[in-house]
Structure 1
Amino acid sequence: MEIRYHPVPRTLLEVQAALCSNDDVAVSCVIPIEDVANEFVVAANNEVVRIRWDGTTDVAERIETIAKVPKSEPHFKFNDAKVDSQGQLWIGYFAADKSKKEFAVLDKAGGLTSILRNKPIKQHFEGISLANGLDWNKKQDKLYLIDSMPGEVLQFDYNINTHEVSNKQVLFRFSDLGLAGIPDGMVIDENDNLWIAIFAGGQILNVDTRKPNTLIKTIDLPTKVTTSVAFGGPNLDELYVTTGSVSPIDGSSSPEGGYIYKITGLGVRALTLLSYKPVSFNFFVRLVTPSPSISDSSHPSCQ
């Protein structure tokens, strides 16, 4: 599903398309392909596929499979992804623990891969539990990656010429600060500070990358199921937060969830727009102008 918001008339257009007939397929990222109209790279379970969709029909055409998780077992699945400044797709994966009724992952069975067009998928490392949000600093010499289940933000040295990562360190550990919730999606700003969505915590954390375990500020959301963040707007200074209406962990629902929240007045912006631009889907838009935290918890309404 794609939700298109037109800010001047304040109208919403909702369009939904089926990728396949299997209800078991979970789409974890959708990224437009540069300079190609109506084509997208989509992560669906253990595959990254290229699709064509005009935004109006209810069926998306599957063009090709670009890559598969570098594991043969079916319980390995792709998760969050981001495109670097050179157009390369970076995407993490995890192994679902099928012995549990609720959502769970196998400890340290996940990893991080990258996909450069017309080249085989490259695995950079293993040994993480649930690879999630990722981003690079302004100098492009550091890569930051969330490992959700231990509640850690990892920092790596990054070589922009060879695309190699090394020197793994823990930049931010939730247990060290007594923080609740699970770190999920993440984005970096022009000051090289991280903004992290806290799943099951209903917060956005602003984290300093220069000193370990340094929390700059916390923004509260009126729903616990906070999933991801991205900068947008004409000046890239608006923070958009995706939320879910039902928790996949315990099945609890939230009337304030399932919306996109817009946070303004933060005084920071994104570094730049990359050549690939993210697509928002599956959520409605709700406008919020905090200063800078969110306190309005009334039931969302879409105009």
Structure 2
Amino acid sequence: MQIDVVIDVKTTLGEGPVWDVDQQRLYFIDSFDGRVFRCTAEGGEVRSWDVPEKIGSIAIRKDGNGAICSLANGLHTLDFKTGEVELIHDPEPGKPKNRLNDGKVDRRGRFVVGSMDTMEEGPNGALYRLDPDFKVTTLDTGIIVSNGPCWSPDDRIFYFADTWSGEIWAYDYDIETGAVANRRTFAKVDTSKGGAADGSTVDAEGYLWNALVYDSKLVRYAPDGSVDRVIDMPVKKVTSVNFGGPDLDILFVTSMAKPPLPRFPGDGVLRGSVFAIRGLGVRGVPEPRFGA
């Protein structure tokens, strides 16, 4: 196993890595600085786009010419050619202390995204589904910090983390309708040790990989929720993970350069880098694009 820095742009809050199979490009964001980045698997051909608010996640659209962005005040489109950003829908107009956060696309082209309390204290967030026709449906409520949405390879289970609840949840998922049911605890994280569940992805074997933010660790969970493997990272504030590369066997890991709140720890010179882990012996599954 080898851990390398792919690109170091010192993202204040690096998040949301998405490997687009068709373009063979890695997308990631700086959540606090409001920027979307794109590069090759080796960190070359860097391109970036500014967005007008804090950004929680992106989904590449079906035509590859733009993205869906979960910005602080709603769901937006981003045109890669012009840089234009347009509002689709704000699901929480009456909650100024909330913002939208992590999101992923299911294999029917729907974007599932959650919101969070910006002080990371109260259960004021919710989980939403944006359909290809831009209809928005609320899937769950009572969430502090939404993170880590992803699906089992057979589409039957949807995983999701409420970071400061100390739990990663599993739901039954209806791939035909996009409905969730039967929420239960998949795995628990001891937040008293300083770490918490952040971004996740699922590999081709059905194992869930989670970034343990503030604790410098990546955890691979078996389908039964048991810990299969733990990887120590060179920075504490790892934030999210996604498999990519030509063979989907490189695990890309984002990190943050500056903690969002003063109670969280600092980091060394590699803070804010995007890392690549090679030699894991497993592959990911392709990330779908948004749209019918």
- Give TM class, smaller chain: 0.7 to 0.9
Q: 1:243 aligns with which of 255, 263, 269?
A: 255
Aligned partners of 1:231 and 1:6: how far apart in 2?
11
Cα distance 1:47–1:151, how it changes in 2: closer, same or farther (>3 A)?
Answer: same
Task: Give the match for residue 173 of structure 2.
Answer: 158
Q: 1:18 aligned to 2:50?
A: yes
Aligned partners of 1:69 and 1:254: how far apart in 2?
38
Give the secondary-structure state (helix, strand or coil) at the position aligned to 2:282: coil
Give the secondary-structure state (helix, strand or coil) at the position aligned to 2:40: strand
Q: 1:224 aligned to 2:236?
A: yes
Q: Does the 8 Å CA contact 2:220/2:227 hold for their aligned counterparts? A: yes
Q: Deviations over 1:151-204 (max 9, x none)?
A: 21101111112221111111111139x764011000001111110011101110
Q: 2:186 aligns with which of 151, 165, 171?
A: 171
Aligned partners of 2:177 and 2:84: how far apart in 1?
34
Runs ≥4 residues deviating over 4 A: none
Gaps of 5+ in 1: 97-103, 278-303
Q: Does the 8 Å CA contact 2:105/2:287 hold for their aligned counterparts? A: no
Aligned partners of 2:229 and 2:236: how far apart in 1?
18
Give me the CA root mean square deviation.
Answer: 2.1
Aligned partners of 1:17 and 1:120: how far apart in 2?
26
Q: Deviations over 1:4-61 (max 9, x none)?
A: 2364xxx6344343323xxxx2111122211152x2211110211112133xxxx721
- Amino acid of the structure 2 residue aligned with 1:220: D
Q: How many residues align?
A: 254
Gaps of 5+ in 2: 1-34
Task: State the TM-score, normalized to the length of structure 2.
Answer: 0.80
- Amino acid of the structure 2 residue aligned with 1:189: D
Cα distance 1:18–1:119, how it changes in 2: closer, same or farther (>3 A)?
Answer: closer
Alignment of 1:50-69 (within 5 A): 50-54=77-81, 60-62=83-85, 64-69=86-91
Cα distance 1:189–1:69, how it changes in 2: closer, same or farther (>3 A)?
Answer: same
Q: 1:258 aligned to 2:281?
A: no
Cα distance 1:61–1:142, how it changes in 2: closer, same or farther (>3 A)?
Answer: same
Task: State the TM-score, normalized to the length of structure 1.
Answer: 0.78
Aligned partners of 1:276 and 1:267: how far apart in 2?
29
Q: Does the 8 Å CA contact 1:206/1:218 hold for their aligned counterparts? A: yes
